[in-house]
Structure 1
Amino acid sequence: MTLGALLAGLVGATSLEAAECPRKDALGTARVLAVDAKTTPRVGLKSFPQTLPLADREVVLTFDDGPNPPTTSKVLAALAQECVRATFFLVGQSASRHPDMVKRIAREGHTIGHHTFSHPYMARIPFEKAKSDIERGIAADEKALNGVSTTTPSTPFFRFPYFESTPAQLDLLQDRGIVVFGADLWANDWEGITPEQELKLVTERLAASGKGIILFHDAQARTAAMLPAFLRYLKQNGYRVVHVVPGGATHKSADAH
């Protein structure tokens, strides 16, 4: 199927209920990659010199700013339809409002990371205020997920809002053993573009880079509408999805890095 056909298929697309491997020809998750802050404290070439050890045509799917039930549920359904696992960086305020959606994300096998409590511009606020927003966000996510408010994350993955940070903030997270995720490419889904335009943009960028950590926003309706076609594009063009988990997590197919 051509990109044009994929774009055309977006019109009138409907979401499916999440199901476990509904199709034998699903994209699937190729492997699990354990990421440890000791060896890879910061990843993503848009922000840092290094990224994850991905082979050509391997991608890591990440989603920011959720949970937002109307759109996150559609994203989860698209991922489930293709048996794909991703990482969701949650905003603590939203997690507090929608704990059932946080639990659903985890129950369906995805990794939950953290994205502050209130999504501020972190480099523009005092260090103590930034630290508080980080910790409050982790505590809110953990409360929604496990019923216990703690600033020790069960999954030590974090992404800065707007990819904006200071050296002191980065050091704080590294000292706490929390991996900071940037991205290698993104879909500009925060802009006023159509799902078709988003699909064209992200597939062109992925074709140019050949692999990488991809940033989407599950709170964006255009991404929820575009995602099924993007996953089909990955399948039809020989890309493989890598699911990231914390180092030390036990998974049968986890690679040691």
Structure 2
Amino acid sequence: MPNTCRLETIPRLLNGFGIAFVVALACGPAARAACPRKGTLGTSRVMEVDAVSFPRVGLKEFRHTLPLRDHEVVLTFDDGPWPPTTPKVLKTLAKQCVLATFFLIGKPASEHPTLVRRIAAEGHSIGDHTWTHFDLSHMPQSNAFKEIDDGIAAVEWALHGTATTTPSTPFFRFPGFLTTPATLELLRSRGIVVFGADLWANDWDPLTPKAELRLLIWRLRVARKGIILLHDAEHRTAVILPAFLRYLRDHHYHVVHLVPTGPAVDFDGVP
């Protein structure tokens, strides 16, 4: 499956912006990232995801995951935005023309809105990861719901200047993957996809960069595909990311970019 200079789908981005804005984006940074320069890993295809078809995904937590082909991976990053490291991650992804999904914590998103907007402007999808990253399974239900709502509102404010609890991209990941029936039902009722993961690098542990990279590659060799969890707030992950993307390129892996389901628009001849 070769890399392609045709975006399969372009998501609906914001209510009220219309087709002209979508076309402008398709011919801008996001489209260029999906069309790799020679020698880069690139982004092979775009997959639309919604809560009807994929309510909960990630085999480490749930029974089902995304229907990826052999040697296809989805890159996801948690716990940003974090100014010391997130820009380094973004630079590495841009250099390899790779698009990813960032699950942002609301409080730092409200403190660094320019960085949040940069993530979106470079074509990445932005999901939510609560307001403070507390364990939602060990707090009163009303507090857990507020953590979810406040996190979404902060990210929406950073992106669009409006603190709504309806996310532009209805993707959510629980801190520590710690859920309750009530919080899962809340997200299901709102049409928000809950993400787990298929594999990860344990980059929250005190590993050396070399050990983290070796562990991640070993797990990928076993799984052969999947949703990969990394943390853009971790310095070690920012350090190993260039080498990991080169590994993916050299071993013929393909990156799949996730977007919410929306009207499909095809573009030929994207530069």
With the length of structure 2 as denominator, give the TM-score of the two structures. Answer: 0.85
CA contact (8 A) 1:71 1:218 kept: yes
- Paired with 1:27 and 1:157, the residues of 2 have a C-alpha distance of 25
- Paired with 2:260 and 2:37, the residues of 1 have a C-alpha distance of 29
CA contact (8 A) 1:187 1:216 kept: yes
CA offset at residue 134 of structure 1? Answer: 0.1
Gap regions ≥5 residues in structure 1: 1-17
Where does residue 129 of structure 1 map in the other structure? 143
Where does residue 180 of structure 2 map in the other structure? 166
Where does residue 67 of structure 2 map in the other structure? 53
Change (3 A) 1:27 1:36: same
3-state secondary structure, aligned to 2:77: strand
Where does residue 215 of structure 1 map in the other structure? 229
Where does residue 10 of structure 1 map in the other structure? none
Q: Deviations over 1:155-193 (max 9, x none)?
A: 000000000000111011000000000000000000111
Matched, 1:157 2:171: yes
Where do residues 15-94 of structure 1 align in structure 2 (5 Å cutoff)?
23-94=37-108
User: Which amino acid in the other structure matches residue 130 of structure 2?
Assistant: T
Where does residue 190 of structure 1 map in the other structure? 204
Q: Aligned Cα RMSD in Å?
A: 1.5
- Paired with 2:77 and 2:213, the residues of 1 have a C-alpha distance of 15
- Paired with 2:154 and 2:263, the residues of 1 have a C-alpha distance of 22
Where does residue 241 of structure 1 map in the other structure? 255
CA offset at residue 150 of structure 1? Answer: 0.3
Aligned sequence identity (%)? 61
Where does residue 22 of structure 2 map in the other structure? none
Q: How many residues align?
A: 236
CA offset at residue 247 of structure 1? Answer: 1.1
- Paired with 1:57 and 1:24, the residues of 2 have a C-alpha distance of 20
CA contact (8 A) 1:32 1:251 kept: no
CA offset at residue 249 of structure 1? Answer: 5.3
Q: Deviations over 1:71-116 (max 9, x none)?
A: 0000000000000000000000010010000000000000000000
Ranges of 4+ aligned residues in structure 1 off by more than 3 Å: 18-23, 249-253
CA contact (8 A) 1:23 1:81 kept: no
